[in-house]
Amino acid sequence: MLHPVIAPIPVLPLPVMILAAGMGTRLAPLSSWRAKALVPIGDREALAHVVEGVRGVARVVVVNAHHRADEVEAFARRTQIAVSREEELLGTAGGVCAAGALLGSGDVLVWNSDMIGPLDAARLVEAHARATAEGALATLAVRLCEAGTRGNVGLDEDGRVVRLRGETAVKDAKPEVRAAEFVGVHVVGEELRRALPRAGCLVGDVYLPAMRRGGRIASIVIDAEMIDIGTPSEYVRANLRWLASRGMGSWCGDAASVANGVTLDRAIVGEGACVVGLGRVESCVVWPGAEAVAPIADAIVTPNGLVRVERLPR
Paired strand residues for 269: 252, 286
Paired strand residues for 308: 299
Q: What is the pLDDT of residues 126-177, one digit of tens each?
A: 999 999 999 999 999 999 998 878 899 999 999 999 999 877 767 677 889 9
Question: What's the sign of the alpha-carbon dihedral 129, 127, 115, 236?
Answer: negative
| Helical axes 46-54 vs 69-79, angle rounded to 10° | 40
Question: What length is written for the chain?
Answer: 314
Q: What is the pLDDT of residues 217-244, one digit of tens each?
A: 999 999 999 999 999 999 999 999 999 9
What secondary structure, in 3-state letters, does the chain show?
A: CCCCCCCCCCCCCEEEEEECCCCCHHHCCHHHHCCHHHCEECCEEHHHHHHHHHHHHEEEEEEEECCCHHHHHHHHHHHCCEEEECCCCCHHHHHHHHCHHHHCCCCEEEEECCEECCCCHHHHHHHHHHHHHCCEEEEEEEEECCCCCCCCEEECCCCCEEEECCEECCCCCCCCCEEEEEEEEEEECHHHHCCCCCCCCHHHHHHHHHHHCCCEEEEEECCCCCEECCCHHHHHHHHHHHHHHCCCCEEECCCCEECCCEEEEEEEECCCCEEEEEEEEEEEEECCCCEEEEEEEEEEEECCEEEECCCCCC
Q: Does 29 sit behind a cis peptide bond, omega within 30 degrees of 0 on the bond before it?
A: yes
pLDDT at 243: 97
Centre a 10 Å sphere on the Cβ of residue 247 and count the other Cβ atoms it contains.
Answer: 6
pTM of the model: 0.94
- At a CB cut-off of 8 Å and minimum separation 6, what does 151 contact? 145, 179, 180, 181
- At a CB cut-off of 8 Å and minimum separation 6, what does 45 contact? 37, 38, 39, 75
pLDDT at 254: 97
- Which of 228, 182, 247, 226 is CA-nearest to residue 39? 228
Task: Look at the domain 14-227 and name its fold.
Answer: Spore Coat Polysaccharide Biosynthesis Protein SpsA; Chain A (3.90.550)
Contact 225, 115 (CB under 8 A): no
* Domain map (residue ranges) of the chain: 14-227, 232-308
pLDDT at 313: 80
Q: What distance in Å separates the CA atoms of residue 234 and residue 298, rounded to the nearest whole number?
A: 12
Tens-digit pLDDT string for the chain (314 aa): 445 555 566 678 999 999 999 999 999 999 999 999 999 999 999 999 999 999 999 999 999 999 999 999 999 999 999 999 999 999 999 999 999 999 999 999 999 999 999 999 999 999 999 999 999 999 999 999 988 788 999 999 999 999 998 777 676 778 899 999 999 999 999 999 999 999 999 999 999 999 999 999 999 999 999 999 999 999 999 999 999 999 999 999 999 999 999 999 999 999 999 999 999 999 999 999 999 999 999 999 999 999 999 988 87
